[in-house]
Amino acid sequence: MQADYHQPDTLEEAQALLAECPDAVLTAGGTDLLVQRRASGAQGPLISLRGIAELRGIHESHDLMIGAGTTLTEILDSARMQGDYPALIQSIEVLGSHQIRNVATLGGNLCNASPGADTAAPLIVYGARLKACSAGGGDSGACRTIAITDFFEGPGRTSLRPGEILRGILLDPPSPRLRSGFQRLGRIQMDIAIASLAVAFEWDGGQARQVRVAAGSVAPVPLRLQATEEMLEATALDPETLNKAATVAAAEVSPIDDIRASAAYRRELIAVFLRRAIRAALEAHGEAGGGTA
Amino acid sequence: MKSTGKRILKLSINGTVHECAAEPQALLLDVLRNELGLFGTKRGCDMGTCGCCNVLVDGQVQMSCLLLAHDMTGKEIETIEGLFDVGDPRGLHPLQRAWAEHGGSQCGFCTPGFVMTAKALLTEEPDPSEERIREALSGNVCRCTGYKKIVEAVQSAAAEIRS
Ligand SMILES: Cc1cc2nc3c(=O)[nH]c(=O)nc-3n(C[C@H](O)[C@H](O)[C@H](O)COP(=O)(O)OP(=O)(O)OC[C@H]3O[C@@H](n4cnc5c(N)ncnc54)[C@H](O)[C@@H]3O)c2cc1C
């Protein structure tokens, strides 16, 4: 006989179940979790988040909130997301396959906390905040907001506390001057990235401001590259600056050798991706800049 | 943690409601094959990578090896067994005919998954480019051969369905 499968209809119910049964595991799309359980043989009770309408959809008020249970296909299909957050869209376009994206959720990609989670670097450069809620407190329980840079603690580990459910991903509305993009290389599309990188910056009269750079698959967690950002801040993103920043980026990451690639190759990719991502972000708006990749 | 026995499950598959008992965490793939005798849906890699177990859920292609059957209540599931064409003497759907005519199968194990993926694509996009077809099928693996004939089969079925 199998352990139970709970299918709550509301977040409140899910929180209560989790509080009551702390060894139960949450499942959203299940594309990470069910594969991992099959490999490990784990068989405990599951709480499904699929039936919870509050966790789904892209909601606009001042900020934009993407429900944690929104599927990657739903995000790809959103005209608002395509127009305003191209780096996130580019990361989802190459994530898994159609049948993965049709069930996999944005919240699941983050909570699984793989160093190579493709949506993490774009969400870092967009300054995403994560809303997490647990049982108790008011109507929807006790909620707090976590900066995405404080969310990842190591492979498979996040700063979510026991009993907390990720409710949504909050994004600021982009300014018309925001430029952003994403670069990735995998052995084949269906494979986890060898390395990935996202950039975002305000392009202000030929100067880059509020530069953000983040990279995936090159450290135990998706990593913000602050030294690289500083090199690029308030510059014209001229070839010389880009080349210097690319060298800094390659040194700032801490990749490992594994079956997919060597650490040295990953550093080299990060340098190339930085130049390419900046150039492509400008070119998407018909603007020039950047060095040669 | 307490264990619970099988629960009654009602699934709408290929337009018919089926009722059976299934373990709480039963996979859709196992229910289709073991409870309902629908063997067309194949277990390949069992980890979401090969596409052999693809079915349509409310028209969208999904992997039955990563779906829990009890989540499928209220959804319309379509499997390879649901494909047919009343106008064809053998009842074959244009995709199935095209697969046969273009040699899209060798051992045939991956075929149901490919055909279901292609069906979802053609419903969304009746006239996809070759690049689009290849991209749509990128989550389906064939270990016997290349993909050329498979792509040709989809192109030919698309043309037939449009005409
Ligand atoms: C064949 C294949 C290819 C893949 N390719 C890629 C790829 O290219 N890039 C990539 O980044 N990933 C890839 N993945 C991994 C996976 O599909 C993604 O990480 C996906 O976004 C996970 O979402 P999910 O909804 O399926 O998560 P689930 O598997 O349901 O959950 C993942 C983890 O997050 C927890 N969780 C989920 N939702 C919440 C929540 N709201 N609150 C708290 N905890 C939660 C679960 O308990 C679990 O630990 C691939 C997977 C497969 C099987």
pLDDT digit string, tens, across residues B33-49? 999 999 999 999 999 99
Same domain, yes or no, for B73 and B108?
no
Of the two residues A22 and B18, the one the predictor is more confident about is: B18
Residues B152 and B98 in one domain: yes
Q: ∠ CA(A208), CA(A210), CA(A215), 5° rounding?
A: 100
Closest C-alpha to A86, from A199, A244, A249, A207: A199
A18-22, A273-277, B86-90: least confident range: B86-90
> Domain holding B47: CATH number?
3.10.20.30
Confidence bin at A159 (pLDDT 50/70/90): very high
Which of B80, B102, B131 is at the close of a domain? B80
Domain endpoint, select from B25, B48, B80: B80
Instruction: Judge: A73–B60 Cβ closer than 8 Å, yes or no.
Output: yes
Hey, which residues 32-61 in chain A have their CB within 8 Å of chain B? 34-35, 38-39, 44-46, 48, 50-51
Confidence band, pLDDT 50/70/90 cuts, at residue A137: low
pLDDT at A6 over 50: yes
% pLDDT > 90, chain A: 87
Same domain, B11 and B64: yes
pLDDT at A140 over 90: no
- What pLDDT does residue A1 have? 65
pLDDT at A187 over 80: no
* Strand stretches in A105-191, DSSP E: 129-138, 141-147, 152-154, 157-158, 165-171, 178-185
pLDDT on residue A190: 73
| Total number of domains in chain B | 2
Integer Cα distance of A173 and A170 in angstroms:
10
Confidence class for position B146, pLDDT limits 50, 70, 90: confident
pLDDT of A141 higher than 80: no
Average confidence score pLDDT of chain A: 94
Q: What is the ipTM of this complex?
A: 0.93
pLDDT at A99: 95
- Contact criterion met (CB below 8 Å) for A206 and A287: no
What are the tens digits of pLDDT across the range A34-93? 999 999 999 999 999 999 999 999 998 878 999 999 999 999 999 999 999 999 999 999
Q: With 80 as the cut, is the pLDDT of residue A136 above it?
A: no
Domain end (from B80, B108, B133): B80
For residue A144, what pLDDT band results from cuts at 50, 70 and 90?
very high
In a domain, B113, yes or no: yes
Say yes or no to pLDDT of A198 above 60.
Answer: yes
pLDDT for res B84: 85
- Among A35, A46, A102, whose Cβ lies nearest the Cβ of B25? A46
Predicted confidence at residue B52, as pLDDT, reads: 98
pLDDT of residue A292: 44
A45:B117 CB<8 A: no
Q: Provide the residue range defining the domain that includes B113.
A: 94-162
Per-residue CA distances from A38 to A43, A44, B113 (Å): 9, 12, 21
User: Tens digit of pLDDT for each residue in B86-101?
Assistant: 888 888 999 999 999 9
| Of A79-83, A287-291, B8-12, minimum mean pLDDT range | A287-291
Q: Whose Cα sits closest to atom 27 in ligand 1?
A: A108
Which chain A positions have a beta carbon within 8 Å of B5's beta carbon? 1
Determine the Cα–Cα distance for residues A276 and A196; give it in Å rounded to an integer. Answer: 12
**Residues B59 and B19 occupy one common structural domain:** yes
Residue A22 has pLDDT above 90, yes or no: no
d(CA B78, CA B56): 5
Same domain membership, residue B74 and residue B50? yes
- Mean pLDDT of all residues in chain B? 94
Residue B87 lies in a domain: no
* B47 closest CB neighbour out of A21, A23, A38: A38
Size of interface A-B (CB pairs under 8 A): 89
Q: What are the tokens at B75?
A: 């959804």
Q: Which chain A residue's Cα is nearest to B132? A: A98
Contacts A92 to B, Cβ<8 Å: none
Residues with CB under 6 A from ligand 1: A 25-33, 35, 49, 68, 95-96, 100, 104-105, 107-109, 111-112, 116-118, 160, 165-166, 190, 192; B 48-49
